[in-house]
Each structure stands twice: as C-alpha cells, then as structure tokens.
Structure 1
Amino acid sequence: MADDDLDDRLDRAFTALGDPIRRGLIARLSRGDATLNELAEPFPITKQAVSRHIQVLEAAGLITRSRDAQRRPCHLNAAALEELTSWIDEYRLATESRFRQLDTVLEQMKEQEK
C-alpha cells in the first residue's frame, strides 16, 4: 500500500513538473514565498491561468498556501521535493555503480592487452 501511495505522489509531482510554467513557479518559490500576483508577474498568461497552475502544484503536494491577513502566500514543500530527489538518486546511484563496474572491466581488459 505504501508503494502505491508513493507511486501516486510521484505521478502527480512529475506530471505537475512536466509544464514549463509550473517549473518556473517552483524555481521562483525556491527563492522564497510569493503571492499569486508576485508569481504571475513574469509570465505572459492571465492570473487565472497562473492560479490553475498553482492548484496543480498544490494538488501534487509540491507547494502549500497559507493565509496572512489579506495575503495568501505560496510556499515550496521541501519534503515533497526531497522525496522526488530521493527516488531519482536511487536509480542514479544504481546506474553509477554499473558504470563503475564497466570501467573496472574495461581497465582490466586494457591491462590484459599490455
């Protein structure tokens, strides 16, 4: 069951990150919290469209929103990003290990040729 939950979270997160505007929003939030207006500023789309992108990121668990008087700042969810990088690192480390093994075999072959 836990693997299914992780798979669902990864699916939602990677789907959300598949859009360049949403990646731009994540990049902006990596520098600090921001409101919808602040997030919408650099993009050539409506605030309503940015709001929909924020909703997708929020549903994917990549960002959260809070209320501060009249402001509703968005916050990056570092734990969700850590979960993504941990999943990627697992496969990166396995691949690097196979490359190191291949390097060892190639070095041994070179030594045998000498």
Structure 2
Amino acid sequence: MYGDIEVMRAHVGRLREQAGDLRAAADRLGARADGVRWPGRAAEALRSRIRDRAAALRGSAERQDQAADVLERHLLEVERRKDAIAAAQRRADALAADGALPDMVLPAPGHKGWLEVSL
C-alpha cells in the first residue's frame, strides 16, 4: 500500500504549526530587542544581532511552509493515484461480474500497475 494520506496530512499540519511557532518566536525576540533601552554601540550591536536572529527564524518558518506546501501537493497526487487505482479495480470487478473481463493478467489489488491497465 502507498502512503497513508492521514499521516501525511498530520505531517503537513505539524510543519505549518512549527512555522507559526517560529514566527511567534521571531516576533517575541524582535520585541525584546526593541525593548533594549540603553544607549551605545553595545546596545545597537545587540539589537542588530537579535534582529538578524529573528530574520533567520522567519526564514526557517518560510522554509517550513514551503515544505508543507510540497508535502501537501505530494499527498494530493498520492490521493489522486490511489483513487485512479481503485476506479480501475472497480471497472475490472464490474467487467468480471458481467463476464466481459478480457483474458489478461491483472495487478495485485492496490498495485500501481492498475494505472496502466486498459479496460
């Protein structure tokens, strides 16, 4: 059997949740940097470094979202192919019930070979 759609959906959800967590952490970090009120080069260096870290967290969040998008597209394609396999198997079953199934070797149930069967 091929990928479990619900497991993949759960992974997509976790990736999106992690992206949100990273963005929230970046926002909190940025707010703390803005809260540094002492003057001087050391304070500015600290704020700059924290802003860089927050930007890196936002970049990580964006990559998490991209990974979720890719996985979601993949799971939709898996789902589409699983549906096509099931439809081909139903057609073969209907033809067999009518005695009209051509004499041919059919793939095992659920096998991707059903995508190439012409009935």
- The verdict on a shared fold, with TM-score over 0.5 as the criterion, is no
Using structure 1 for the length normalisation, give the TM-score: 0.37
Q: Which has the higher helix share?
A: 2
- Bigger CA radius of gyration: 2
Using structure 2 for the length normalisation, give the TM-score: 0.36
